[in-house]
Amino acid sequence: MNVVTTIKQVREQVKVWRQAGYSIGLVPTMGFLHEGHQSLMAAAKKDNQKVIVTIFVNPIQFGPSEDLDSYPRDLERDKVACEQMGVDLIFHPTASEMYMPNFSSYVDVNNLTDALCGKRRPGHFKGVCTVVTKLFNITQPDRAYFGQKDAQQLAVIKRMVSDLNFDIDIIGCPIVREADGLAKSSRNSYLSESERKAAVCLYQAIECAKEMIKQGEKSVTVIKKAMDDVISNQPLAKIDYIEFVDLASLASINMLAKDSLCALAVYIGKTRLIDNFIYQQQ
């Protein structure tokens, strides 16, 4: 496995692979890798002859009061996680390699970014779309892998790829969870022992909603109220949002419909966690 830090090095490697006719799968990450990331690598490995993982804590997708400086980093551990999965190349650039001092071009997807996390984190998806576009241009993949864990991100990237005619297949991968149901996340490392226990309330709220839906409940107000109750029962938790939206447009819905997404963001102490589930009527 090769670990490189410059765009030039990636381009040289990709050129060789392209000339040999190899297919390339890309897994963009911010590092501090866990089994969720590794599931993306496994999917990429299955579909492609070469797999590139990028590890870059992208400064332009963090708001001024967010956790850019404290975001967990451990390259040596990440190398082991990638090696285990048979990754061929890690691209681990510095911020200055990615953003020259006169950097001034951004990619911004409208509408889909108005709701959910986009509404609470202004500029976040502009930062995500810009860095993902750059990573696409640098690595020239056939396929790129994103987690359903970040449901809005996946929807926004798919829209961007379609709108801007990137010749890249975007593959969504299921959420990988801890044994108690908490979605795996690099940010889980911020949680104290008591917060970690409390964090399971996101999953409990999802399970509660799924059970109500199974019993035939369709009213978003009723389901949201029950989810709110589950989370509010947990003193360390503070709801940022619980939203039901149409899966394609991410527009808010009042009644559960054919393809709906329920997404939630909850603060556990100072740590903001997200989770979601998709309801697809058979």
Q: Which of the residues are catalytic?
A: 37
Q: Which of 25, 118, 127, 147 binds ligand AMP (CB under 6 A)?
A: 147
User: What is the nearest approach in angstroms of ligand AMP to the Cβ of residue 32?
Assistant: 7
Among 10, 14, 26, 36, binds ligand AMP (CB under 6 A): 36
Is the Cβ of residue 187 or residue 224 nearer to ligand AMP in the bound state? 187
Rounded CA-CA distance 198/258 in Å is 32
Binding segment (CB under 6 A) for ligand AMP, from list 17-25, 30-38, 239-247, 262-270: 30-38
Asked if residue 195 binds ligand AMP (CB under 6 A), the reply is no
Structure tokens of 16? 């060789």
Token representation of residue 243: 């939203």
For ligand AMP, which stretch binds (CB under 6 A), given 64-72, 134-142, 178-186, 191-199? 178-186
DSSP string, 27-87: EEE-SS--HHHHHHHHHHHHH-SEEEEEE---GGGS-TTSSTTTS---HHHHHHHHHHTT-
For ligand AMP, give the closer residue by CB, 175 or 262: 175
The three-state secondary structure class of 282 is coil
Interface pick for ligand AMP out of 10, 14, 98, 176 (rule CB under 6 A): 176
- Sole binder of ligand AMP in the list 56, 62, 146, 203 (CB under 6 A): 146
- φ/ψ of 197, rounded to 5, equals -65, -40
CB of 199 to ligand AMP, least distance (A): 13
Q: Does 39 bind ligand AMP (CB under 6 A)?
A: yes
Nearer to ligand AMP, 13 or 152 (CB): 152
- Sheet strands side by side (includes 237-246): 237-246, 259-268, 271-280
Binding ligand AMP by CB under 6 A: which of 10, 85, 117, 150? 150
In the chain the beta strands, taken as DSSP E runs, fall at 2-4, 24-29, 50-55, 89-91, 143-147, 169-173, 237-246, 259-268, 271-280
Structure tokens at 203: 């999953």
Q: Please say whether the beta carbons of 240 and 266 come within 8 A.
A: yes
Whole-angstrom Cα distance, residue 274 to residue 268? 10
276 binds ligand AMP (CB under 6 A): no
Among 113, 133, 186, 234, binds ligand AMP (CB under 6 A): 186
State the residues that interact with ligand AMP by CB under 6 A.
Answer: 29-30, 36-37, 39-40, 146-147, 149-150, 173, 175-176, 183-186
